[in-house]
């Protein structure tokens, strides 16, 4: 069976991912409680934001709902919908 040469260059897409994962792994290795806190924050913060937005949509006023949906369109980089046509005279 031929040996696999692992000394070659790393493809570009893996360099970025390896650097980001390496930084978090280093923090987790040097300070396991800090690594656990960062991992929890990676999950808890987006969930908390999602819950706040969901509550604003379900329980908020019409103006609040419109602002939430404008924020979501802005985050997704989507254009604003066309304005409703007013009554023609």
Local confidence band at 4 (pLDDT 50, 70, 90 cut-offs): low
DSSP letters for 21-76:
HHHHHHHHHH-HHHHHHHHHHHHHHHHHHHHHHHHHHHHS-HHHHHHHHHHHHHHT
What are the tens digits of pLDDT across the range 25-66? 676 677 778 878 888 888 999 999 999 989 988 898 989 888
Rounded to 5 degrees, what are φ and ψ at 61? -75, 175
What is the mean pLDDT of the segment spanning 8-36?
A: 64
pLDDT of res. 51: 93
The answer on pLDDT for 88 being more than 70 is: no
Tell me the pTM: 0.52
Name the residue ranges covered by the structural domains of the chain: 14-75
Collapsed DSSP state (helix, strand, coil) of residue 79: coil
């Amino acid at each position: 069976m031929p040996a696999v040469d692992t000394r070659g260059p790393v493809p570009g897409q893996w360099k970025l991912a390896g650097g980001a994962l390496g930084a978090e792994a280093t923090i987790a290795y040097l300070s396991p409680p800090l690594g656990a806190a960062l991992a929890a924050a990676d999950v808890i913060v987006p969930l908390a934001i999602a819950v706040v937005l969901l509550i604003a949509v379900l329980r908020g006023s019409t103006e609040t709902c419109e602002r939430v949906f404008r924020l979501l369109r802005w985050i997704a980089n989507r254009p604003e919908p066309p304005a409703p046509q007013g009554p023609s005279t």
